[in-house]
């Protein structure tokens, strides 16, 4: 606590978060305007004490109290939506999830741009700034990252390693049960380089599963591999549950590729022919519906303490194995990239 800062200011900051959470639940039938107004309270600045070690016990106790209130409410036969926090909420995948999962979950977000649902304007590199968004949350979908595959090593460390560590730490402090970490196939793309373009052919049967050795193809891939290892650390030492989803190729509504999965042929990988690029994209394509379905299955499988899964649709050529996602999470992709995409 800073000198000269009254303790009641700190407590009021915490209670404001609690009031926001409770009001958002109680006004579920009062109309969208009231929900948005209530949610906006969460986006107001809170005192740094809330996220400091000194404030941690009070914040943890408040989170526990909120959960007890929700449990009592649910015990009376009332439906209580799971509260899910999405980092990078205004990005492509965050927007996809907002449109497809907004009715199923009570969504909130962290981003520095406006999102389709209530969002805290904060930077994941600042633990104190993001901590309040985690209080009373059931699960976190961590999408926020520097998405530039050929970006600098320093930027990747700052955003994708330090930022991801802050997300895990904030979740641990708040008593969140599950973090779904959006990783990437670039963590193991060294296998693709070794296999060569023939691995993308429809008659090739080689596959890469969750047991594959980490072989990043870029600073971006390395930083995401570090995020996966951090998740394993928080599972083993702190009991947090973490699902790693190595997301494939996601298009926007206009058909543009997600920079998270853009082809980097000639930048960090050997140059591929146009046909090989198309075949690769056919194999790693992930539709919006399948993306939302996979995240939903992860959120509904919070009892699974840790797992590494590939996020692609049921494509004509699958060299990233979906078996573990099907078994552990019940993932059942319904879409498929067109065969002619690679011809």
Provide the annotated active-site residues: 220
Supply 249's token pair: 């190729």
Rounded distance, CA 321 to CA 307, Å? 13
Rounded distance, CA 8 to CA 49, Å? 11
What does the longest C-alpha to C-alpha distance in the chain come to?
A: 71
Rounded distance, CA 230 to CA 234, Å? 6
Q: How many CB atoms lie within 10 A of CB 224?
A: 29
Crossing angle of the two packed helices 32-40 and 7-26, in degrees rounded to 10: 160
Q: Say whether 335 sits in a helix, a strand or coil.
A: coil
108, 17 Cβ separation under 8 angstroms: no
* DSSP E strand boundaries for the chain: 83-87, 106-110, 119-120, 139-142, 178-184, 241-247, 306-311
Distant-in-sequence, close-in-space partners of 246: CB < 8 Å, separation ≥ 6: 183, 184, 185, 187, 188, 308, 309, 310, 311, 320
Rounded distance, CA 136 to CA 64, Å? 8
122, 129 Cβ separation under 8 angstroms: yes
């Amino acid at each position: 606590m800073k000198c000269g800062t009254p303790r009641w200011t700190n407590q009021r900051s915490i209670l404001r978060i609690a009031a926001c959470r409770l009001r958002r639940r109680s006004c579920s039938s009062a109309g969208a305007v009231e929900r948005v107004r209530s949610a906006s309270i969460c986006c107001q600045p809170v005192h740094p004490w809330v996220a400091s070690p000194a404030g941690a016990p009070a914040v943890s106790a408040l989170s526990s109290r909120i959960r007890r209130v929700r449990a009592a409410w649910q015990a009376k036969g009332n439906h209580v939506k799971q509260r899910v926090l999405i980092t990078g909420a205004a990005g492509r995948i965050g927007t996809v999830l907002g449109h497809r999962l907004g009715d199923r979950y009570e969504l909130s977000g962290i981003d520095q741009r406006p999102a389709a649902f209530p969002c805290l304007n904060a930077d994941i590199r600042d633990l104190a700034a993001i901590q309040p968004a985690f209080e009373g949350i059931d699960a976190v979908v961590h999408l926020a990252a520097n998405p530039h595959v050929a970006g600098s090593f320093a930027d990747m460390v700052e955003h994708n390693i330090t930022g991801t560590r802050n997300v895990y730490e904030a979740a641990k402090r708040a008593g969140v049960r599950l973090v779904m970490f959006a990783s990437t196939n670039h963590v193991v793309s060294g296998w693709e380089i070794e296999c060569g373009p023939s691995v993308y052919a429809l008659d090739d049967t080689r596959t890469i599963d969750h047991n594959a050795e980490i072989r990043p193809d870029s600073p971006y891939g390395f930083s995401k591999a570090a995020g996966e290892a951090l998740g394993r650390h928080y599972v083993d030492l702190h009991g947090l549950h973490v699902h790693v989803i190595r997301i494939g190729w996601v298009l926007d509504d206009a058909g543009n590729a997600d920079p998270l999965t853009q082809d980097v042929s000639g930048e960090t990988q050997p140059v591929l022919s146009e046909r090989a690029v198309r075949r690769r994209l056919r194999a790693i394509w992930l539709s919006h519906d399948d993306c939302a379905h996979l995240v939903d299955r992860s959120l509904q499988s919070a009892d699974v303490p840790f797992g590494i899964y590939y996020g692609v649709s049921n494509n004509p050529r699958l060299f990233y194995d979906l078996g573990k996602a099907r078994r552990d999470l019940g993932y059942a992709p319904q879409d498929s990239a067109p065969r002619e995409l690679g011809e």
